[in-house]
Structure 1
């Protein structure tokens, strides 16, 4: 176990992260920060206790016998209680396919993979609700509505989203499905649709049809999925996509506009958020460093932002969350967050061990 990197910080609350109330954070702290060996009895015990996490138990208790949450036909809505989001959370919390409920959930989600390879918000049965709304609206306007068979394929394909596909692929990889054909197809589709500027857009979504600049939300999730794809499974296309995608993030210093004097693009990206399904600078830093770009000085502004948020006691505070939209709270806004603290310490460890040093700029 190595702790040399900790000397770069004013305080590292390891004992707090190792407390038994958050079993996944305890396990990841032992594995990622303290580098316990895989055959260490304490680490093995911590892994066995992952399913005892109260949030995980709550999520699994809400699962229907058929393997889904909320709606059988719509795994995307309602946010953030339907099936896609629960599987993403279970992946974050260290669960894997050895749990039968995970297998049932994944089996259900695979029904929502488009033949192109991306994941969609709904298939035919879910599309019928939208079709009825369109038909009634057109009827009121005395417009002709095409048959459902003519209308549905394009509507389903429009819901094939890069951000969704990246997040689902990431979750399935974490859950132990990295060698499944569905992952190969999803990652190949993401490589295929990468934008010319190195970012990603949702290619068939109406809101993106005329866009040319990559979307940060659509970019971070494919890169995150690639970052947890075992290197032996990374095709030449994936490796090229990683290089181009990371450059897109770096050219923006993770949160700044490269065409407008590097002004902040979105101030919410600077807020410490968990769970994070989309984009902020912590997720940006985590992905860029996992992919091996921690020596690039263009991450330093983002590093300074998060380091200036550290409490004197070593923790980081939860600044933004999805209160009321999940199956119960994970952590409390305004309080120190074990999940955010763990993620930032992973980032700092990678940076210090790679660079050999860490210098903090105090921000005004």
Structure 2
């Protein structure tokens, strides 16, 4: 079976992105397929898991309202909103509008009781919030200002800055880069673009995976491909960001592209290499097996890089 055919046998969340990014399908057909995310498969399951109070797991990020899921890290409102965005839930759909309104009305951060869309304190959490806010059409300018003020001297961000860290981290930086890219789509503030470029430079100076000081791989986990990525960095996530902002592939990205290409299996698919720990609402496939998400993302990165896929 052709890999494209195998991908098209997957969830609507996979199919509409394959149609758009690999098959260059008619936009109307893509929109029709995307609309199914709210009604079928993974998207419908996530929406159905919302509690009677209008949020997931009873809170924003670290709630314990569901006794059958004690200490769950990936089942709460902030994480499910991110997952629905990754699936491609149409923000104009009635389902998305209802979710946004309920979260605005009910959800507050556990950190200090702040209203959800006003953000938290950590750059990685606020990065996801901004990316989600832009996707769902919620103004998040105040959170963007907070992120702009948290940029570090080396050009990136680090959630441990408040605990004394003076160097950026790959994990925090990729989350904020995605946020800056999202905000650029709805604002002409030059500071947002400049911040995005500085964060990208931080990663690219390190080849997207190596320490600038020693040339060693920063973390072997950065070479393992996951979906959803949660707060974790990996080379495919970085390349997906660069593809999405229309960057021109260059030699600074070459090793990371080679890493992704090298993980392709004999049948043309890519496996899921890691599932980040903790309970989750949706099982996106077993570790070590061919995975539609990783395959879709790898194929569109290689296509962007000018390789024959």
TM-score, L = length of structure 2: 0.86
From 214, 237, 246, the equivalent of 1:292 is 246
Q: Is the 8 A contact 2:271 2:294 kept in 1?
A: yes
Give the Cα separation in 2 of the matches to 1:190 and 1:322.
25
Q: Is the 8 A contact 2:8 2:15 kept in 1?
A: yes
1:269 corresponds in structure 2 to 222
Give the Cα separation in 1 of the matches to 2:8 and 2:213.
44
From 206, 209, 216, the equivalent of 1:252 is 206
Q: Is the 8 A contact 2:12 2:40 kept in 1?
A: yes
1:193 corresponds in structure 2 to 150
Q: Alignment partner of 1:253: what SS?
A: coil
Distance 1:336 1:225, change over 3 A: same
From 292, 296, 302, the equivalent of 1:348 is 302
Give the Cα separation in 2 of the matches to 1:281 and 1:217.
11
From 70, 77, 81, the equivalent of 1:83 is 77
- Confirm whether residue 171 of structure 1 aligns to residue 161 of structure 2: no
Equivalenced residues, count: 297
Between structure 1 and structure 2, the one with the greater Rg is 1
1:315-340 superposed Cα distances (whole Å, 9 cap, x missing partner): 10001114661014121211111111
Give the Cα separation in 1 of the matches to 2:276 and 2:105.
27
1:301 corresponds in structure 2 to 255
Give the Cα separation in 2 of the matches to 1:245 and 1:324.
29
Shift of 1:295: 2.4
Q: Is the 8 A contact 1:80 1:326 kept in 2?
A: yes
Q: Which runs of 5+ in 1 are unaligned?
A: 1-10, 114-118, 127-155, 353-357, 360-364
User: How large is the RMSD of aligned CA atoms in angstroms?
Assistant: 2.7
Q: Which runs of 5+ in 2 are unaligned?
A: 64-71
Shift of 1:66: 2.4
Range 233-242 or range 207-216, more displaced: 207-216
2:44 corresponds in structure 1 to 57
2:187 corresponds in structure 1 to 233
Q: How does 1:324-335 map to 2 (within 5 A)?
A: 325-335=279-289
Shift of 1:346: 1.6
Q: Is the 8 A contact 2:38 2:44 kept in 1?
A: yes
Q: Is the 8 A contact 2:19 2:30 kept in 1?
A: yes
Q: Is the 8 A contact 2:61 2:73 kept in 1?
A: no
1:22 corresponds in structure 2 to 11
1:115-146 superposed Cα distances (whole Å, 9 cap, x missing partner): xxxx95433499xxxxxxxxxxxxxxxxxxxx
Q: Is the 8 A contact 1:282 1:344 kept in 2?
A: yes
Q: Alignment partner of 1:81: what SS?
A: coil
Shift of 1:171: 2.2
Give the Cα separation in 2 of the matches to 1:294 and 1:302.
14
Give the Cα separation in 2 of the matches to 1:162 and 1:108.
24
Q: Is the 8 A contact 2:263 2:270 kept in 1?
A: yes
1:6-54 superposed Cα distances (whole Å, 9 cap, x missing partner): xxxxx972111112x3111100111112222323xx3233122222442
Distance 1:265 1:335, change over 3 A: same
Q: Is the 8 A contact 1:76 1:85 kept in 2?
A: no
Give the Cα separation in 2 of the matches to 1:327 and 1:231.
30
Q: Alignment partner of 1:105: what SS?
A: helix
Q: Alignment partner of 2:158: what SS?
A: coil
1:160 corresponds in structure 2 to 121
Give the Cα separation in 1 of the matches to 2:278 and 2:199.
33
Q: Is the 8 A contact 2:46 2:281 kept in 1?
A: yes
Give the Cα separation in 1 of the matches to 2:3 and 2:229.
22
Shift of 1:173: 2.6
1:34 corresponds in structure 2 to 23
Range 234-243 or range 188-197, more displaced: 188-197
